[in-house]
Structure 1
Amino acid sequence: MHALLAYIALHPVGALLAVFLVAFMESIVLVGTLVPAGVTMFAAGALIGAGALDMWTTLGIAALGAIGGDGLSYEAGRRWNAQIRAWKPLARRAALIERGEQFVRDHGGKSILFARFIAPVRAIVPFLAGTACMPRLRFYAVNIGSALVWSPTHILPGVLFGASLQVARAVSGRIAALLLLTVALAWFVAWLARLAARGGAPVLRGWRDALLRWASRSPAPYGRLRRYVRAVIDPSRPDSRTLLFWILVLGGGSLMFLLTARGAVTAHWFTGIDMSVLNRLQALRTWPADQAMVAITEMGGVRMRVLVVAAMTLWLWVRGCRRTMRYWLALALATEATIRALGLLIDRPAPLGLPAGLAHVSFPSGHATSSIILYGFLAYLLGRNAKPYVRATLAACATAAIVLIGVSRLYLGAYWLSDVVAGWSIGLVWLALAIILYTRRQVHEFIHPRALAATLAVVCAAGISWVFSTRSTADLALYTPPLRVQAISLHQWTDSEWDKLPAYRLELRAHRDERFLLQWADSAPEIERALQAGGWLAAPAWSVRSALTWLLPSSDVRELPVLPRYDQGSNAAMTYLRPSRDGHGRIVLRLWRSNYVLETPQRLREIPVWYGAFYDERFAKPAHLFLLGITHGVMAPEAFLPLLPPGLRTLRRPDDASAQSQAPRQAAATAPGPAMQRRAKPPAAASRGRSVEPAQRGTTILVMPQEAQQGVH
């Protein structure tokens, strides 16, 4: 995508010509239905949002193409009406054309306006307007007006998408990939549910009829079983389809649990799948996603389970629904008992990435088991007597919550995939048993579903907010692998260990255009003091107010918060900026904390080692509607060195006697010049952001700590 944007930025005329031709051809009779104009206009909008095309020029070109295409179809229908009607594809549909002409005569200009936004008739209605001899003045007035509305309607969503692509690429590919996986999983679950709803009903009826034929035969043998089958799935009973469905779920859940338990304990290939899923999800971890997943995982935690069970029990007791309350409490107790019993029976170690000290039962997943039982039974109670669309909405919400809770446990490394699948399986078994018994016992207590749903929504929102506000810090620390600090001496760092720090920013892959040229050993206050002395400003903190400044094209670059960037899932620990002289850009310095610290001779303290890079950030204003930041890494050492504050002692690695500075360097804090905008070609190979050979890695600037500059070492 980046290479495509660069190419189109160099050849905008070709892209605009393609936009014109597609908009023009889309309105040509018999041809327009084959032209993917919607996709092309959306792509053009994405190019605008990415800064490759100008918005107003593209909107105007698209509108001109649409006007010209409709005009050509109109004039063809007006002038060559008889000849075109004689064509075989249209001659066979004479009655359809007559109805179309009558529609144009009845609705006039509105038919042109509406047809512009309806793909199947967009290419035929202007032609019919010509055959119906609509006055030219009326046609062209509506044609021009509708094209001016059609163009931004199809292009502006692409502009937002293109801008979001740039933001996603700048911030974190891991977050974008995680969102994509979540959307794909939600789509797959919805598609599976829709497929089951459409194709499952005939299958269920066929199975029911077959069972009824078997049960209607002579009662011996299996007389009692035959009578029970007739009593359960008799079509005259209002709940027969519900009972049959949940009986099948009971059988399927039991089989799935047995297969999962056997595979998790004895099958090596199942263990390989567990490890593969764990490793891939751990590779997508970032700090914002960690916070979101911790909030989601609390929905299935013990605190939320107790809160939901207590709130539901209190509601049922106040409303006098004692039978339902007993079923609810029995189901909650059975859930906890099953989790504990299976955890003791199958003593399975937790994933390797789980922090020590987190006490839980590994197999099955307690969060997955309890969420599918409690939230599933709640959805059943709320939608039992509701309309079909209400039941579908409740089922979708419950399924989304259950799946997200399970995914959050996998993402945080708390369970294996087989643990979560086993939890869902045993949860389905208990849920099916509860619904079968509840339905068979004919419990028809009115639980006031609307008021209950609103109450539970408020309780869950308040509970999640309370749990997350009180436990988020502890939980994030619990699920975050500790930083393994390695103490080294100053000479070890400058001689060899510097080459073991990350060389490129690493997300889903190593970003070759973002090489870490800088390593700085000093405390955070000393680095901040040096940068402020060199004219650098601390980046504004993110807030609602500061985020809105991105929507104002006239915002000062010093007031704009800096978009976060992640290296191996961690955001930069320190971010500073310095505006350029022209006011249309700024230089951004990002520093990450490494796992190295320098030991002082007296061992009074340890000096952390940071690594990072400078970024040249320029701003575009698409249509003067909002700001779009376009960032490039500063790759050339000649442009890199003048950005450092004065008075620092620096070393070049690999050694370069002509460039190495043994005395404090008095660099002027100059504003970025044209040389900063030139980016050196990145090395041809990198080892996933880790150390590479010095000849491949290129020059790295090491900044000595303040104590070393004063000669203490």
Structure 2
Amino acid sequence: MQAFVFAVIAFATAHSLLAYGLAFLLAGAEAFPVIGALVPGTAVIVGLGALVPGGALAMWPLIGATAAGAITGDGLSYLFGRHYKQHAMAMWPLRKRPGLLASGEAFFTRHGSKAVLISRFLPGVRAAIPMVAGMSGMAAARFYAVDACAAGLFAPAHILFGMAIGASLTVLHAIAGRLVVLVLSLALAVWLVVWLTPWVIRRTLGLLARLRGPVRHWAEAGDGWARRLVRSLLDPERPETLGLLVLGFALIGGLGLFFGVLQDVLAGDPLVRADLAVFHLLQSLRVPIVDQVMVAITELGDARVVVPVLLAVLVWLSWQRAWRAAVYGVAAVAGASLFAFLLKITLQQPRPGGLYHGWNAYSFPSGHATASVALYGFLVVLICREVGARARFAVTLAAVLFVGAIAFSRLYLGAHWLSDIMAGLAFGVAWVALLGIVYLQHARRDVRAGGLAGAGLAALLVAGGLHIATAHSADMRRYALALPTRQMAAAAWLDGGWAALPVRRVDLLGDYEEPFTLQWAGPLAPLRAALLAQGWQPPVPWDLSSSVEFLLPNAQPDALPVLPHLDNGRAEALVLIKTGGDVPANQRLVLRLWPSGTVLSGGAKAQPLWIGTAVAERIEHLKPLASLFDERNDVNGALRILKSALPGALTQSRAPTVSGPAWNGEVLLGPP
């Protein structure tokens, strides 16, 4: 079987156009009873996905062919079971497998309609469930709706898994570090959301339960509009009371966060500096294969997807004659989008890069984040009003993850600053909470939450799939990695332009750290060679043995690795240390250089400009526990030793207003 799979994949590599038809046939064949168990469809489909990173196949046509094949195969199996019912088991080859129907029926009885979705991912029952669904009389519309969702999840999951394998085999040597950091960061973010969402819900419900008695006692002790409002909210005859209180907390929290971010943006507080740091960090972690996924996710937040989903929701609500809910749904999306547009053209905050033109070139707040929270947040309000506690949690978590993915994609692709995303999410939550409070106060008609969720999900899959299929290539070019650089003449740099470069390093939270005392023009190799000749050395790399050194109470300064520092999200391009000689025995000097984002012109070839810091670190032996480093504030001592190692460097001084006792304001310019 393994040789057969490899032969099929080799055939697909040589005949790329036929590979899509092969994916269609194999995905469909797996749905046929008995035959499906003999077809290695999953293995081949994953193998075809591995051909995408190398350019042999295209991702979206392959996903589309796989999904279409899965729907077609499941549909034929369903129609077969619906037409022949129990007589099907007397036909060949089903009569050879009498236990197949029994296991399929048991699985379908246990899970109901969800069995169609679950079985798509379980090879053991995948070949029986569509036929069993037809034999049991499951409605065709219901079957195809669930099956479309199953195929829409099955195809991307297998193709993307195969693409990950292919990417690891072809480009892992170049992107392994960035990919690991990015995957771990995303995994941590998802884990936080999955853990934090139920924790917040439990804490909020617990707090409301504890406060309900005292607050109700206060409300009943007097009169006035405030007490009457509280009595109305806490009326035990109103089941939506708890939801109103949760929305009230969301309204207060959302408004507080929005105005806090807005104040920071207008005042230029550290959050604005953190914007640049997060931008550079994420751009440094970008990987081509992840770019494909992030562009697809950001396209799901485009207006060409949001509007069809809203229209589908409105059609369903109109069919249910839930006119009030339809009006509030329009108000949620239209109001949030209008607010974001007005704020953009009022503040006119520029985006990180020139991705858009016209009013779309303005950044604050993120329209994708605002509109997505408004649409899917209000859907959560409508659905949670009619379902149980477990379904509320599942729906809320799904919406949080989906909207969070869209928001993160805007950050990852460099389309927005962190403050844009935070403001958009905060205002969207507050706006949905306000509308939800008013709606729940007057809601009188159910909207049939299951059908509403199905209509919205179907519209999302159809509109999203069509938009991705038609716009993905152009959007990949739009969001291609292009870090902004500034041009400066070399003569202008020496004549005072050096003073326009940053004075201090900015960490990931936007705080100012140690000053930049070195600016180096050109390749770093000559600087590295000059310092190595003067007794500087590379630090020991981070590995298990060097990390264990921190646990030794008598570790030497040159035996410990250097803690990484970021400047505006950029990683160091060069790190050297100096021990011994003029450096005290319990100390070491650490030199770090980062790209400045500036290129010097004027010679035969443009030269990159680097900015660096030199600091002294004192080792502290916490006997008998460990050894730690304490970064010293004496920049002048480190600068003096660095200057002696680069005797030809030009020394300049910054204005006294930016220097101090620990730093005399001197900056070294090189090469000589």
Q: Compare CA radii of gyration and give the structure with the larger one.
A: 1
